[in-house]
A and B are shown apart, each in its own frame.
Chain A
Amino acid sequence: ETGVTQTPRHLVMGMTNKKSLKCEQHLGHNAMYWYKQSAKKPLELMFVYNFKEQTENNSVPSRFSPECPNSSHLFLHLHTLQPEDSALYLCASSQETQGVEEQYFGPGTRLTVT
């Protein structure tokens, strides 16, 4: 496996379900990100983890709960979602140093909430 992988690639869930999205990076990076991509809207940054510590929570509703057990894995736990949460959820990683480095993206999980 290379780069950034995400599972599952597609997920359909009801509003009362609990599910989790998984992201794994094989690049040795120390920062990981969750983005939400809705149709016709810019990518929205949801969470940032640096060295496993959450450094950004972009006013995301509590029905989204991130978890970063180590620098290679990132989860997004989902519960009692709303139909408007249907979107493509992208994970990314980067090697943060003193400045800015490019982010490497996974293929995304297409989430549909029914």
Chain B
Amino acid sequence: AQSVTQPDIHITVSEGASLELRCNYSYGATPYLFWYVQSPGQGLQLLLKYFSGDTLVQGIKGFEAEFKRSQSSFNLRKPSVHWSDAAEYFCAVATGNQGGKLIFGQGTELSVKP
């Protein structure tokens, strides 16, 4: 069965520092990959997605993610974190043969120190 693992439950970074959130998936073929962000009291907002093609994808708010098939990973990065980036981040995978069904990771909560 497909699964998504986000190894870090909580990460704290200083404002202006770089950020990398880890995501590993389990699936035999090439999956469809997503990163969503959830601010407190809000729903999920799509940051970026990977379906095919260039393995480095750019998203909104200055985020990017790189698909690495050999490592079954889709890590999210940002070169310089802003205080407004404090939120919970979810990685998700879809397999394409189950319609729109997304499998979500447990989430990583990001705190930003001034």
Contact = CB atoms under 8 A, between A and B. Distances in A.
Interface of A: 4, 6, 31, 33, 40-43, 45, 48, 50, 55-56, 90, 92, 94, 96, 99-108
Interface of B: 4, 9, 32, 34, 36, 41-46, 49, 51, 90, 94-96, 99-107
A6 B44 CA distance: 13
16 contacts: A4-B43, A42-B90, A42-B106, A45-B102, A48-B101, A50-B99, A56-B101, A90-B43, A92-B43, A96-B100, A100-B94, A100-B99, A102-B49, A103-B46, A105-B45, A107-B43
Contacts of A48: 99-101
Contacts, number: 62
Nearest to A50: B99
Contacts of A90: 43-44
A103 B90 CA distance: 13
Contacts of A106: 43
Contacts of B36: 105
B45 A43 contact: no
Given A40-B106, A41-B106, A42-B106, A100 B100 contact: yes
B83 to A, nearest CB: 22
A42 B96 contact: no
B10 to A, nearest CB: 11
Q: For B4, B43, B105, B107, which residue has the most chain A Cβ atoms within 10 angstroms?
A: B43
B100 A33 contact: yes
Given A50-B99, A90-B44, A107-B43, A100 B32 contact: yes
Nearest to A35: B104
A32 B53 CA distance: 28
Contacts of A100: 32, 51, 94-96, 99-100
A84 B49 CA distance: 33
